[in-house]
Amino acid sequence: MNLRAIAEFEKLKSTQLFSNVGVHNAPNATVVSSWSDAISRCSSREWDSWLLEAANQIRDKLSDAFVERYCQWNDITHEIKRIVIPILDQKCEEVITENALPKSFIDTVHWDVLGFFVEVAYSDIASPGFFHSQWESYMNGHFPCGWEGNYPSGRPIIY
């Protein structure tokens, strides 16, 4: 991991995730009112497609202009997973248990945070994108579960 990724990982370890779910403290976001609504949104086919497209945009930038670095994709992703997933699972365990959240919740958290760390890993050659906005929501204690409008205009939907 590069130095920025290490710093962000330390930030993840020290942040209390989901401490502001449902709180209307993000003026540039739409806040949903329940875990049920958030899970419904993040489990939708539309949202899955949105996240896949965001990840594909990173791959497309790399595969077109930075083939050598693109070839490191799997190694970088495996390293990120090895380090980040155990911390995420630990940090999500309580909120999953307390709210009886389905597997789609942790899958979404994994996807978002891994996407962010991949963006960080390649930030020297590709501008940060969609997953940086997701990361900001997590670091502010929210659960991002959708987007209104067309990225980058529009606004996140959070719980």
Q: In this predicted model, what pLDDT tens digit does every residue of 12-41 receive, in sequence order? A: 999 999 999 999 999 999 999 999 999 999
Q: Are 144 and 134 in contact (CB under 8 A)?
A: yes
More confident: 56 or 143: 143
Six-digit token pair at 143? 């659960």
Quick one: pLDDT at residue 151?
A: 84
Quick one: pLDDT at residue 19?
A: 97
pLDDT, tens digit, for every residue of 71-108? 998 999 999 999 999 999 999 999 999 999 999 999 99
The length of the chain in residues reads 159
**H and E: helices and strands count for the chain:** 7, 3
Domain boundaries of the chain, sorted by first residue: 28-158
Query: Is residue 140 scored above 90 in pLDDT?
Result: yes
The 8 Å CB, 24+ separation contacts for 23-30 are 23/141, 23/142, 25/140, 26/137, 26/140, 26/142, 26/156, 26/158, 28/155, 28/156, 29/137, 29/142, 29/155, 29/156, 29/157, 29/158, 30/146, 30/148, 30/155, 30/156, 30/157, 30/158
Does 152 sit behind a cis peptide bond, omega within 30 degrees of 0 on the bond before it? yes
Query: Is residue 114 scored above 80 in pLDDT?
Result: yes
